[in-house]
């Protein structure tokens, strides 16, 4: 048994590169975000340098047009991106997974109705749904943005959960579990959730990327977290006027956003490969 | 002798097709009964009907009385109580009948735990582990400590089927259904599993409904057999009579074909 696993691991060493690259791309902003709680090079909204200074010793990533330190903003932005991504995915998954499993178990009619409902909601861009939710609130806040994005993601998660659950429900081991008296709740908990998780996880990573991007877009439009929350989207928006004279102000948050989204996807892919080699599908 | 299972005038049909019709048979406690039929004759559907697990598209009518309770038309709540308690099934393909992501030990432990609770016995972790070990011993699984932690794809086909049998026995059912439990296995392993099943049901005093298209295998296990074709009963009776002096022409052709197959095998050797 151990030999089998080792061989699978060696064959999968290329897949491990995916996993490691993903871990690094996610790990760096995660670390930066965590460190930003206790330490940043400068205070977030203080004008600590000249305007639009090029990256150098005093300001590793330069300063923006108000003379604020960009590295500090990037670090706080990493925190915001991760909180928004995780929060939105958590809300979207909580609603989506529940509705998806319910739909898979529902009567034919209710299932069709729920499936159609998911499809209609998915036809609206996540960003649009999020903007509508934000519009119902008095003022923009980080919490509102997270809630809005979570609600926007829920139907996407719901649809994929429904399909995955139906696939698992058709498997022999579900009949085998039922035939020895396992109740439906136990089957959902012990067989369905673990077996849809590897595939759902990859999809949730995708949604995480979507949420982070959407938050950046909301901030860019001024509907995201208000200052002093530096979000990467807000930085992009503020750097808009100085793209030619001081490109680092726009390039760096853009790169950070890109790296995080790619990283989460690579990480999820790598983890799924791990699980499927455990399943013996290596 | 009292009955564990009575099937009367069972009819299984989809909206546009009758799949099983007019099927009647009974099984007494401790009896080993063989259900023979070619592929598509409705054997698996009959076994699913007994456990109340027919696909939604198929409707059952007639009567199935299992351990004194009516199965046809019973609500799911009642059926969950019957499954495991009165009946358990071992399926044809042990690889797909086990959850690929759950260690084998836990797959056996779950029905053990449910049964201990049902019987009002203590169900702490050591109690359950002890029972799992006993079961693995009963089905002659080697190296239980290692196998408990292994996943289905990490053990052999024969060992997987032994795990599936252990899961079924963990429920301590009154009736064990084995739906072609040896078809997916090689000949040597087949013989081992058949011997194991036979000695287990004899030792535990439970009834066995053994489903197969292989006359030789059924002959080794069953005391009484029924031959099915296209959802109908063709012939039923004591195994040695039906399998050596069949009255019906279809059974005769099956027996003759099996004999020719055996002869060909021996000619090869
Ligand atoms: N869900 C279903 N809907 C419609 N027809 C079905 C369904 N499941 C099985 N059948 C049909 O019912 C008939 C009997 O199937 P069953 O699985 O009971 O055969 P079997 O005797 O077990 O054969 P095998 O030896 O191949 O396992 C087949 O003709 C099959 O096509
Ligand atoms: Mg079958």
Q: Is the pLDDT of residue B269 over 80?
A: no
**SS3 of A202, please?**
helix
Rounded average pLDDT over B14-27: 95
Q: How many residues does chain A have?
A: 282
Does residue A177 lie in a domain region? yes
Look at chain A and report how many structural domains it folds into. 1
Rounded average pLDDT over B88-114: 92
Q: Do A181 and B110 count as a contact with CB atoms less than 8 A apart?
A: no
Q: For residue A31, what pLDDT is reported?
A: 92
Q: Is the pLDDT of residue A3 over 60?
A: no
Residues B237, B72: Cα–Cα separation, whole Å? 26
Contacts of B171 in chain A (CB under 8 A): 180-181
Q: Do B88 and A179 count as a contact with CB atoms less than 8 A apart?
A: yes
What pLDDT, in 10s, does the model give residues B133-185?
999 999 999 899 999 999 999 999 999 999 999 999 999 999 999 999 988 88
Contacts of B97 in chain A (CB under 8 A): 172-173, 175-176
C-alpha B19 to ligand 1 mean position (Å): 8
Give the pLDDT band of residue A225 (cuts 50, 70, 90).
Answer: confident
What is the residue-wise DSSP string for chain B?
A: --EEEEEEEEEEE-SS-EEEEEEEEEEETT-EEEEEE-TTSSHHHHHHHHTT---TT-EEEEEEEETTEE-TT--HHHHHHHBTTTEEEE-S-TTTTS-TTS-HHHHHHHHHHHHHHHTT----HHHHHHHHHHHHHHTT-S-HHHHHH--GGGS-HHHHHHHHHHHHHHT--SEEEEESTTTTS-HHHHHHHHHHHHHHHHHHT-EEEEEES-HHHHHHH-SEEEEEETTEEEEEEEHHHHHHS--SHHHHHHHHHHHHHHHHHHHH-
Residue whose Cα lies nearest atom 16 of ligand 1: it is B42
More confident residue, B124 or A56: B124
Output B72-76 pairs: Cβ under 8 A, ≥24 positions apart: B72/B10, B76/B52
What pLDDT, in 10s, does the model give residues B57-68?
999 999 999 999
Residues A219, A241: Cα–Cα separation, whole Å? 16
- Alpha-carbon torsion (B70, B74, B78, B81), positive or negative: positive
Give the pLDDT band of residue B267 (cuts 50, 70, 90).
Answer: low
Report the chain B residue with the minimal C-alpha distance to residue A180: B84
What pLDDT, in 10s, does the model give residues A230-261?
788 888 888 888 888 878 888 888 999 999 99
**Residues B162, B142: contact at Cβ < 8 Å?**
no
CATH number where A138 lies? 1.10.3720.10
C-alpha B39 to ligand 2 mean position (Å): 7
Q: For residue B94, what pLDDT is reported?
A: 86
As beta bridge partners, residue B175 has: B87, B207
What pLDDT, in 10s, does the model give residues A49-74?
777 777 877 777 778 877 788 888 88
Q: How far is A279 from chain B (nearest CA, A)?
A: 6
Q: Is the pLDDT of residue B3 over 80?
A: yes
Q: For residue A164, what pLDDT is reported?
A: 94
Q: What is the mean pLDDT of chain A?
A: 84
Q: What is the mean pLDDT of chain B?
A: 91
Does residue A1 lie in a domain region? no
Weakest-pLDDT range from A123-127, A203-207, B36-40, B111-115: A123-127
- B210 — alpha (psi -120 to 50), left (phi > 0) or beta? beta
Residue whose Cα lies nearest atom 4 of ligand 1: it is B14
Percent of chain A with pLDDT strictly greater than 90 = 30
Q: Is the pLDDT of residue A6 over 60?
A: no
Report the chain A residue with the minimal C-alpha distance to residue B84: A180
More confident residue, A90 or B216: A90
Q: For residue B260, what pLDDT is reported?
A: 78
Rounded average pLDDT over A40-45: 80
Give the pLDDT band of residue A219 (cuts 50, 70, 90).
Answer: confident
Does residue A82 lie in a domain region? yes
More confident residue, B94 or B206: B206
What pLDDT, in 10s, does the model give residues A150-165?
998 999 999 999 999 9
B117's tokens = 């609770």
Residues B42, B49: Cα–Cα separation, whole Å? 10
Q: Is the pLDDT of residue B106 over 80?
A: yes
Q: For residue A127, what pLDDT is reported?
A: 80
Does residue A6 lie in a domain region? no
Q: Is the pLDDT of residue A139 over 90?
A: no
Does residue A104 lie in a domain region? yes
Rounded average pLDDT over B260-264: 74
Rounded average pLDDT over A125-148: 81
Q: Is the pLDDT of residue A280 over 70?
A: no
Rounded average pLDDT over A34-51: 81
Q: For residue A282, what pLDDT is reported?
A: 41
Compare CB distances from A175 to B53, B101, B102 and report the shortest one's residue. Answer: B53
Rounded average pLDDT over A218-223: 82
Residue that has been written with the tokens 């060493």 in this structure:
A13
Residue range(s) defining the domain that contains residue A106: 11-47+56-281
What is the residue-wise DSSP string for A227-257?
A: TTS--HHHHHHHTGGGTTT-THHHHHHHHHH
More confident residue, B39 or A136: B39
Does residue A2 lie in a domain region? no
Q: For residue B32, what pLDDT is reported?
A: 95
More confident residue, B11 or A39: B11
Residues B168, B51: Cα–Cα separation, whole Å? 13
Residues B150, A171: Cα–Cα separation, whole Å? 20
Give the pLDDT band of residue A13 (cuts 50, 70, 90).
Answer: low
B15 touches ligand 1 (CB under 6 Å): no
Whole-model pTM?
Answer: 0.81
Q: For residue B251, what pLDDT is reported?
A: 86
Does residue A5 lie in a domain region? no
Q: For residue A224, what pLDDT is reported?
A: 77
Percent of chain A with pLDDT strictly greater than 70 = 92
Q: Do A173 and B98 count as a contact with CB atoms less than 8 A apart?
A: yes
């Amino acid at each position: 048994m151990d030999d089998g696993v080792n061989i699978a691991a060696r064959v999968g060493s290329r897949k491990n590169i995916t996993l490691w690259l993903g871990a690094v791309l996610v790990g760096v902003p995660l670390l930066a975000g965590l460190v930003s709680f206790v330490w940043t090079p400068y205070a977030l909204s203080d004008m600590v340098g000249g305007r639009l200074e090029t990256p150098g010793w005093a300001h590793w990533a330069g300063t923006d047009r108000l003379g604020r330190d960009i590295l500090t903003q990037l670090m706080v932005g990493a925190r915001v991106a991760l909180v928004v991504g995780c929060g939105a995915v958590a809300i979207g998954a909580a609603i989506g997974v529940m509705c998806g499993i319910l739909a898979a178990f529902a009567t034919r009619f209710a299932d069709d109705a729920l499936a159609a409902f998911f499809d209609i909601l998915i036809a609206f861009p996540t960003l649009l749904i999020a903007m509508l939710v934000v519009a119902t609130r008095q003022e923009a806040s980080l919490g509102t943005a997270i809630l809005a994005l979570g609600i926007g993601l829920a139907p996407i998660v719901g649809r994929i959960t429904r399909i995955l659950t139906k696939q698992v429900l058709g498997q022999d081991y579900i009949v085998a579990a039922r035939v020895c008296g396992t109740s439906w709740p136990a089957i959902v908990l012990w067989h369905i959730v673990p077996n849809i998780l590897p595939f759902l996880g990859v999809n949730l990573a995708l949604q995480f990327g979507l949420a982070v991007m959407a938050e950046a877009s909301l901030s860019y439009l001024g509907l995201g977290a208000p200052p002093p929350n530096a979000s990467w989207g807000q930085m992009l928006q503020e750097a808009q006027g100085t793209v030619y004279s001081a490109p680092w102000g726009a390039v760096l948050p853009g790169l950070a956003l890109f790296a995080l989204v790619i990283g989460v996807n690579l990480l999820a892919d790598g983890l799924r490969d791990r699980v499927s080699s455990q399943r013996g599908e290596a | 002798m009292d009955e564990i299972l009575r099937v009367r005038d069972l009819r299984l049909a989809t909206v546009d097709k009758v799949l099983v019709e007019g099927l009647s048979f009974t099984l007494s406690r401790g009896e080993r009964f063989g259900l023979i039929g070619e592929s598509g004759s409705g054997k698996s559907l009959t076994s699913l009907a007994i456990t109340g697990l027919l696909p939604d598209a198929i409707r059952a009518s007639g009567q199935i009385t299992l351990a004194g309770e009516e199965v046809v038309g019973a609500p799911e709540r009642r059926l969950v109580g019957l499954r495991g308690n009165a009946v358990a099934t071992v399926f044809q393909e042990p690889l797909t009948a086990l959850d690929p992501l759950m260690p084998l030990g836990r797959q056996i432990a779950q029905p053990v735990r449910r049964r201990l609770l049902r019987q009002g016995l203590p169900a702490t972790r050591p109690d359950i582990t002890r029972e799992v070990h006993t079961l693995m011993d009963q089905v002659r699984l080697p190296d239980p400590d290692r196998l408990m932690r292994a996943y289905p794809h990490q053990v052999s086909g024969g060992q997987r089927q032994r795990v599936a049998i252990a899961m079924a026995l963990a429920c301590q059912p009154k009736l064990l259904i084995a739906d072609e439990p040896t078809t997916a296995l090689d000949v040597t392993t087949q013989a081992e599993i058949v011997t194991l099943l036979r000695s287990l049901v004899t030792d535990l005093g439970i009834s066995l409904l053994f489903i197969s298209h292989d006359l030789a295998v059924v002959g080794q296990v069953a005391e009484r057999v029924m031959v099915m074709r296209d959802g109908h009963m063709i012939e039923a009776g004591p195994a040695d009579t039906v399998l050596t002096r069949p009255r019906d022409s279809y059974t005769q052709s099956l027996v003759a074909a099996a004999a020719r197959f055996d002869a060909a095998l021996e000619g090869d050797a």
